[in-house]
Amino acid sequence: MSSGHEGMLTLTVKMRVSPEPSSLQALLDLMRRYKEALNHAIKVVIENKALSLGKAHRLLYKVLKKRYYLPSKVAQDCYREAIAIAKSWLSNPNRGRMPRAKAPRIWLTNKQSYRVKNKYVELLGGYKLEIVGWDKRYDDYSNGYARLLFKDGKFILEVSKRVPKLGKYSPSGVLAVDINEKEIVIGNSKIEHRFETAIERALHYKQLAENLQKRHSSPKYNAWLRRRGIRRRMKSFHRKARNIIEDWVKKTSHEIVSLAKQHQYAVAREDLTGLVENLRKLPKEHKISLLILSYRRLEHWIDWQCEKQGVPIAVINPRSTSSTCPICGSKLIENGYRKLKCIKCGFEADRDTVAILNIEKKAHEKMGGSLTTPTAPQMTDVIPNR
Ligand SMILES: [Zn+2]
């Protein structure tokens, strides 16, 4: 096992902060102006491809100061943030509408426009905010840029931290990950675990939002469109659904990667890009959108956890992982609900077990001779370990 640090990872630590009552209104006004200024800057940066600081400065600096009354340093932070947002939007092949900031906010450069001191955050301009609560695990790492947001009546400071990555060990085997609508199955030819997905739980809240909308709709008068309270409740149901998925994905990816580390396995996951693209072509139903969200976030968090914990990872082409016999390579046939069978060699197993064994096999091929070849037993006697 190699030791020491190999590169850095960026993570975001969120803290609740609370401004002094006497300066609350002035700060909130500044954050509202910043939000408007940022949306203007994003538009200008994208339309003029002004992705360098020099070009953005020439196009925006004066406008941001004069029209939006931003102090000089804040105006600079503003086009800097606009460039960062524009870059990430332009690099996304599935980008939708131009990104827009919705909540009042302000971007802050460490030491120049903010600093954390004891239990307070001090901002340029003399604002002082008390830190109400934060994640102390990352206190030892230095702060990067930060973002102060005003959301649902609360001030949240998001501070970026640079955390060293752990060196990766040479794996003694592979832990394959397979996901379907209902379950995540992880394992290899020796072990198998199954976790329920959070899709059904999240779907419940999507349905609550929809019922609320139906109850307040009529052909003559769509009350739900007009009444703010109803719209707000619908929004909070949708948010709850997304939070359920996000929490579950974080927790599950942590469990999977920790288990791999404990056994000194590499993690192997399928590349789900194609699957997600196919889902996008389907009608926009709640379930489909939750599946897309789950798959994308799961890929992100598994990879992130692997980087953080120093676990090697292999990303596998998903082609025919659930239709080929992992023993002899023949095409499998259906043999009852989610069950598959090989006519040539007699192997039979459930669809997810087949996928796990094929992902393991492909990972071994991909990672080369650093691993020993597994011997796959008949999987019919495996009891799913829940
Ligand atoms: Zn076979």
67 C-alpha to ligand 1 centroid (Å) = 71
102-111: pLDDT as tens digits: 999 999 988 8
Q: Give the chain's end-to-end CA distance (angstroms, integer).
A: 30
- The model's pTM: 0.74
81-99: pLDDT as tens digits: 999 999 999 988 778 889 9
pLDDT of residue 222: 63
Q: Which residues of the chain carry a pLDDT beneath 50?
A: 1-4, 372-386
Q: Are 367 and 266 in contact (CB under 8 A)?
A: yes
334 C-alpha to ligand 1 centroid (Å) = 13
pLDDT of residue 332: 94
- Angle between helix axes 286-309 and 199-215 (nearest 10 degrees) is 140
184 C-alpha to ligand 1 centroid (Å) = 24
376 C-alpha to ligand 1 centroid (Å) = 11
Q: Are 109 and 123 in contact (CB under 8 A)?
A: no
326 C-alpha to ligand 1 centroid (Å) = 7
96 C-alpha to ligand 1 centroid (Å) = 44
Q: What does the angle CA 55 – CA 57 – CA 61 come to, to the nearest 5 degrees?
A: 145
Q: Are 346 and 147 in contact (CB under 8 A)?
A: no
Q: 75: part of which helix (H) or strand (E)?
A: helix 72-90
Distance (Å, whole) CA 280 – CA 273: 11
Write the CB contacts of 304 (distance below 8 Å, at least 6 apart in sequence): 9, 253
Write the CB contacts of 139 (distance below 8 Å, at least 6 apart in sequence): none
Distances (CA, A) of 33 to 36, 85, 123, 194: 5, 18, 16, 49
Q: Are 63 and 90 in contact (CB under 8 A)?
A: no
385 C-alpha to ligand 1 centroid (Å) = 25
pLDDT of residue 47: 95
pLDDT of residue 375: 42
Strand partners, 5: 166
pLDDT of residue 24: 93
Give the closest residue to 144 by CA, choosing from 52, 53, 89, 81.
Answer: 81
189 C-alpha to ligand 1 centroid (Å) = 15
Q: Are 190 and 356 in contact (CB under 8 A)?
A: no
79 C-alpha to ligand 1 centroid (Å) = 60
The residue type found at 38 is L
Length of the chain: 386
Distance (Å, whole) CA 304 – CA 313: 10
- Angle between helix axes 273-281 and 286-309 (nearest 10 degrees) is 160
273 C-alpha to ligand 1 centroid (Å) = 28
Parallel, antiparallel, or unpaired for β 143-151 and 127-134? unpaired
312 C-alpha to ligand 1 centroid (Å) = 29
Helix (H, G, I), strand (E, B) or coil at 175: strand
351 C-alpha to ligand 1 centroid (Å) = 14
